[in-house]
């Protein structure tokens, strides 16, 4: 048997539980799933799915749009959520505008 190395990663307990359920249904163990993932990274010489960051101007436009929805009284948001989300969006927008 080949030597093995240990990988330690911290993840949210619920995420781990849900992932283990799916991995088990596929017929793999967590170690086998991680090995498959790492093998795909080596074979493709890349992460096996798309990763990207939004451009800052896209993010600012999104925040302005979301703030408009929240402040319009959109029916799917509660009063408390409206206030909280609007405050966070405003703070983020102000940080982006000042940079």
pLDDT digits (tens, 9 = 90+) for 4-22: 899 999 999 999 999 999 9
pLDDT digits (tens, 9 = 90+) for 42-85: 999 988 888 776 665 666 666 666 666 556 555 554 555 556 66
Cβ(20)–Cβ(27) below 8 Å: no
CATH ID of 1-52, from 3.40.50, 1.20.120, 1.10.1760, 1.10.1220: 1.10.1220
For residue 92, give both structure tokens: 């983020």
The reported pTM is 0.52
DSSP category for residue 45: T
Strand, helix or coil at 31? helix
The Cα 99–Cα 32 span in angstroms is 45
pLDDT digits (tens, 9 = 90+) for 31-45: 999 999 999 999 999
Per-position DSSP letters for 33-86, written without gaps between them:
HHHHHHHHHHHHTS-SS------HHHHHHHHHHHHHHHHTT-TTS-HHHHHHHH
pLDDT at 73: 58
């Amino acid at each position: 048997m080949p030597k093995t190395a240990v990988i330690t990663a911290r993840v949210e307990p619920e995420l781990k539980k849900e992932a283990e359920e799916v991995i088990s249904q596929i017929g793999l163990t967590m170690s086998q799933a991680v090995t498959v993932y790492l093998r795909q990274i080596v074979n493709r010489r890349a992460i096996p799915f798309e990763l990207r960051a939004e451009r800052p101007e896209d993010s600012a436009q999104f925040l302005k749009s979301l703030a408009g929805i929240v402040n319009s009284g959109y029916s799917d948001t509660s009063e408390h959520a409206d206030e909280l989300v609007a405050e966070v969006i405003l703070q983020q927008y102000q940080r982006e505008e000042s940079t």
